[in-house]
């Protein structure tokens, strides 16, 4: 029998510094890749927010530096009686309290409030009626996003396609608890509150895929409630809209046909909608074109046949607490359903 060594050999400090460098460097690299950034913006609204953010950072840094300088002066002159430079004058002490305790804070707060109110709140307010070209309804669910285009169809989930350089009126509501819709590169947050219809402007000045996230704690899987806004050229957007409005395609292989049968006769159909089939459930995402989405379960896993099979086999293992039960299907059954869903482009 081989005994494990009692003491693991000490790692040299070189190795440790190397590991630390990899961790820090990796984190920096990842943060560079992350599309969910408030300082890399793609709309005038987000740009305004970024500018305000830099100003607040700058002013706060100045105030902080000022406080540090005063502390240092106080420390250096601590043995001398009275105030540094000003001596033991009561009036000077009162003046300092007025200037640093009231004057400067008030000035800073009023200026920042003025900038954000006059300039930003107006700029990021709900779009005025008839100034937008398109209305999209986004409905928050625990823990995914339902997306409906005007006229009832198409319906999709977790991926919001918009035409680039077009003002879109986004109506934010919820099917259950409070959520908050936030795509930092495009605009500020908008809360989704039961019984209310909140609106926000969605506008992207260049094509791209912008990640968004629920930003109001809404239960167990709040952190895994992501989504994407995909800004496309007009023609590509219109093609997508036309395609997504169509009914689902019919299965072509025996495996996929068996999968469809299974889908319709098991519980799947009571929670999911597939246009053109008897599956009319509304608890979960519309699956009419599920294969054309890039991620599953609100940007939690990539949409590959492998991940889809794992999800259907046991969604609870991927997103614990999710509102889709483990239905105890065998892998054979799962493979059939996957064959069917993979054809729903
Ligand atoms: Cu949430």
Mean pLDDT calculated for residue range 113-133 = 87
What pLDDT score was predicted for residue 123?
86
What pLDDT score was predicted for residue 32?
42
pLDDT grade for 25, boundaries at 50, 70 and 90: low
Least confident of 148-152, 259-263, 282-286, 309-313: 148-152
What pLDDT score was predicted for residue 154?
82
What pLDDT score was predicted for residue 315?
96
How far apart, in whole angstroms, are the C-alpha atoms of residue 163 and residue 96?
56
How far apart, in whole angstroms, are the C-alpha atoms of residue 12 and residue 268?
55
Q: 221 alpha carbon to ligand 1 midpoint, in Å?
A: 8
Q: Say which residue, 80 or 325, is predicted with more confidence.
A: 325
What pLDDT score was predicted for residue 80?
83
* Angle value at C-alpha 271, between 268 and 274, nearest 5 degrees: 75
pLDDT grade for 23, boundaries at 50, 70 and 90: low
Note the residue count of the chain: 345
Cα within 13 Å of Cα(220), Cβ side: 7
What pLDDT score was predicted for residue 83?
81
Give, as residue ranges, everything with CB less than 5 Å from ion ligand 1: 179, 214, 218, 222, 225
Q: 191 alpha carbon to ligand 1 midpoint, in Å?
A: 10
Note the pLDDT tens digit of each residue in 155-182: 999 999 999 999 999 999 999 999 999 9
Q: 303 alpha carbon to ligand 1 midpoint, in Å?
A: 22
Q: 177 alpha carbon to ligand 1 midpoint, in Å?
A: 9
Q: Say which residue, 120 or 142, is predicted with more confidence.
A: 142
How far apart, in whole angstroms, are the C-alpha atoms of residue 255 and residue 259?
6
How far apart, in whole angstroms, are the C-alpha atoms of residue 285 and residue 264?
16
Q: 222 alpha carbon to ligand 1 midpoint, in Å?
A: 4
Mean pLDDT of the chain: 89
What pLDDT score was predicted for residue 30?
46
Q: 97 alpha carbon to ligand 1 midpoint, in Å?
A: 44
Q: 283 alpha carbon to ligand 1 midpoint, in Å?
A: 17
What pLDDT score was predicted for residue 9?
46
Least confident of 67-81, 109-123, 178-192: 109-123
Note the pLDDT tens digit of each residue in 139-158: 999 999 999 998 667 899 99
What pLDDT score was predicted for residue 37?
81
The pTM assigned to this predicted structure is 0.85
Q: Does 125 have pLDDT greater than 70?
A: yes
How far apart, in whole angstroms, are the C-alpha atoms of residue 308 and residue 302?
8
> What is the percentage of the chain residues whose pLDDT exceeds 70?
89
What pLDDT score was predicted for residue 27?
53
Q: 84 alpha carbon to ligand 1 midpoint, in Å?
A: 52
R_g over Cα of the chain: 28
How far apart, in whole angstroms, are the C-alpha atoms of residue 158 and residue 113?
35
Least confident of 27-31, 273-277, 299-303: 27-31
pLDDT grade for 34, boundaries at 50, 70 and 90: very low
Q: Are 165 and 202 in contact (CB under 8 A)?
A: no
Q: Say which residue, 115 or 341, is predicted with more confidence.
A: 341
Q: Does 38 have pLDDT greater than 90?
A: no
What pLDDT score was predicted for residue 33?
43
Q: Are 225 and 218 in contact (CB under 8 A)?
A: yes
Q: 332 alpha carbon to ligand 1 midpoint, in Å?
A: 35
Q: What number of other Cβ atoms are within 10 A of residue 252's Cβ?
A: 11
**Helix or strand run (H / E) with residue 18:** helix 13-33
Packing angle of the helix pair 331-342, 305-313 (nearest 10 deg): 130
What pLDDT score was predicted for residue 114?
86
Q: 37 alpha carbon to ligand 1 midpoint, in Å?
A: 18
Note the pLDDT tens digit of each residue in 85-119: 777 888 888 998 999 899 999 998 998 888 887 88
**Helix or strand run (H / E) with residue 232:** strand 226-232
Closest CA to 206 of 81, 335, 44, 32: 44
The class of domain 254-342 in CATH terms is mainly beta
Q: 213 alpha carbon to ligand 1 midpoint, in Å?
A: 8
The topology (CATH level 3) of 134-245 is Immunoglobulin-like (2.60.40)
DSSP 83: B
Q: 343 alpha carbon to ligand 1 midpoint, in Å?
A: 31
Mean pLDDT calculated for residue range 277-300 = 95
Q: Does 130 have pLDDT greater than 70?
A: yes
Mean pLDDT calculated for residue range 36-46 = 87
How far apart, in whole angstroms, are the C-alpha atoms of residue 295 and residue 243?
19
| Pairing relationship of beta strands 144-149 and 179-182 according to DSSP bridges | unpaired
């Amino acid at each position: 029998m081989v005994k494990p060594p009692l003491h693991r050999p000490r790692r040299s400090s070189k190795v440790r510094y190397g590991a630390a460098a990899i961790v820090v460097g990796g984190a920096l690299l990842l943060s560079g890749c992350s599309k969910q950034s408030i300082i890399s913006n793609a709309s005038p609204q987000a740009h305004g927010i970024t500018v305000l953010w830099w100003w607040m950072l700058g002013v706060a840094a100045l105030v902080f530096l000022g406080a540090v300088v005063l502390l240092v002066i106080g420390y250096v002159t601590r043995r001398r009686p009275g105030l540094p430079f000003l001596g033991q004058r009561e009036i000077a002490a009162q003046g300092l309290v007025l200037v640093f305790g009231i004057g400067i804070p008030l000035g800073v707060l009023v200026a920042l409030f003025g900038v954000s109110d006059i300039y930003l709140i107006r700029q990021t307010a709900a779009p005025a009626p008839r100034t937008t070209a398109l209305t999209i309804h986004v409905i928050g669910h625990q823990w995914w996003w339902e997306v409906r285009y005007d006229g009832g169809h198409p319906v999709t989930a977790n991926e919001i396609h918009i035409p680039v350089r077009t003002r879109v009126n986004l109506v934010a509501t919820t099917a259950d608890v409070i959520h908050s819709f936030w795509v930092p590169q495009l605009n500020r947050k908008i809360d989704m509150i039961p019984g209310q219809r909140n609106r926000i402007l969605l506008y992207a000045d260049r094509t791209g895929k912008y990640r968004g996230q629920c930003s109001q704690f809404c239960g167990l899987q709040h952190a895994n409630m992501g989504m994407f806004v995909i800004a496309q050229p007009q023609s590509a957007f219109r093609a997508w809209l036309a395609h997504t409005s169509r009914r689902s395609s019919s299965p072509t292989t025996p495996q996929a046909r068996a999968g469809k049968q299974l889908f319709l006769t098991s519980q799947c159909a009571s929670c999911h909608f597939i246009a053109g089939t008897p599956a009319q459930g509304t608890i979960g995402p519309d699956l009419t074109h599920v294969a054309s989405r890039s991620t599953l379960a609100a940007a939690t896993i990539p949409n590959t046949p492998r991940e889809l099979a794992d999800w259907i086999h046991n969604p609870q293992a991927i997103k614990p607490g999710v509102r889709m039960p483990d239905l105890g299907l065998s892998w054979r059954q799962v493979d059939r359903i996957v064959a069917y869903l993979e054809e729903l482009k």
